[in-house]
Amino acid sequence: MHDSTLKTDWLKSVATVFLQSHKYDKARPLLELALMLYPGDPAALKKLAYLHFQKKEYRQAISYCNEYEHNHRNAIESRLFLLRSLCHQELKEKELALTYFEKFSSSRKTL
């Protein structure tokens, strides 16, 4: 295992503890550092999307979802479809909210 992988795993683990404790401002720099060390890291991108959703920063949450989808085109992450749907709902973008909720529902049926 590479040294940078160990560092990113440690950073994400500590960030997860902060996220669970609702200490988003402490989790954020750790996750951003994990992305700097390992660009496109799927766990860091998902955690950052969740963090921004919790902070009501819906556009930023969607941005991390987009980055995840761009870097991991073949991965189906149903929870991110739901998160995007909720973000669009909060932004009063009903059609997009419905589109992503339908993607969430379809992805759950195939699992």
Least confident of 5-9, 45-49, 64-68, 102-106: 5-9
Q: For residues 55 and 21, is the Cβ–Cβ distance under 8 A?
A: no
| pLDDT confidence of residue 4 | 63
- Any idea which residue has 């669009």 for tokens? 88
Report the pLDDT averaged over residues 38-44. Answer: 93
Q: For residues 6 and 110, give the distance between their C-alpha atoms in angstroms, rounded to a whole number.
A: 33
pTM value? Answer: 0.88
- Average model confidence (pLDDT) across the chain: 92
Q: Which amino acid is at 18?
A: F
Percent pLDDT > 70 in the chain is 95
Q: What is the CA radius of gyration of the chain?
A: 14
